[in-house]
Amino acid sequence: MRLTRIPDTYQPGLVTIASFGTTDQGRLAALASAIAAAKPISEFSDFAESVHSQLKDWKRSDVFSVVRTLYSLSTHLADDELSAAELAAQVLEVMRSSGKDSLAVPEDRRRQFLDSLSHLLGIDSIRLAAKAYGLRHDHERWLCEVKVITDLRPVFADVHEKPDRVIVGHTLRLGYHEDGKHKEFYVALNGSDVATLKKALQRAEDKESSLRSLITDSGLKEFDHV
């Protein structure tokens, strides 16, 4: 599928890559070296932290922006069987046609941008990590935040008198990502619900442990534990 737009989340990374000029090849080389040296990890934040740990003179936000953008673009390489150069050309065309000044790449720097982006997209570690990330998050929604709020609620027999009884309740807040956006919803729980949830989570942990034993016995290697 041809790239037609660049979500706002990934634009800062492209702006940083586009800023590399002929005099910034040292920074580009350092970034490429750090990415190549980072162990492929399916979780974006862990991979980005590994890259940043090798780039002491880089702002953390810049490293995360670039890696986030490369993760996203690399999924197109896996899904569409494009070459890095072909995808970079599509990216440049979308940036040019967006009409946004922030995404404008001067004509005399376009070749440099294409070479820089192609080079970064061609690094094995980022492609492998992005592929694992895509497989792990190939769902309509995925969890990113959990919080349980516990409170007391008075029971009024008469609204004109002080209550002498209360109930204890919980509210489970689940934050998740969908279509590149953060969303959340709330679920009311009582004590019995909390116990049921704990049992379900314990069962999930037990099944995960069993599957990891199966992985070891079969001679396979779990991606994030290699």
pLDDT tens for residues 119-175? 999 999 988 888 887 777 777 887 889 999 999 999 998 889 999 999 999 999 999
Pull the structure tokens for residue 47.
């991979």
Q: Exposure of 99 by Cβ count < 10 A (0-12 exposed, 13-18 middle, 19+ buried)?
A: exposed
Mean pLDDT score, 29-45? 89
Structure confidence at residue 89 (pLDDT): 92
Q: End-to-end CA distance of the chain, in Å?
A: 32
pLDDT at 80: 60
Segments making up each domain of the chain, as ranges: 8-136, 142-225
Radius of gyration of the chain (CA): 24
Quick: pLDDT tens for 170-204: 999 999 988 768 899 999 999 999 999 999 999 99
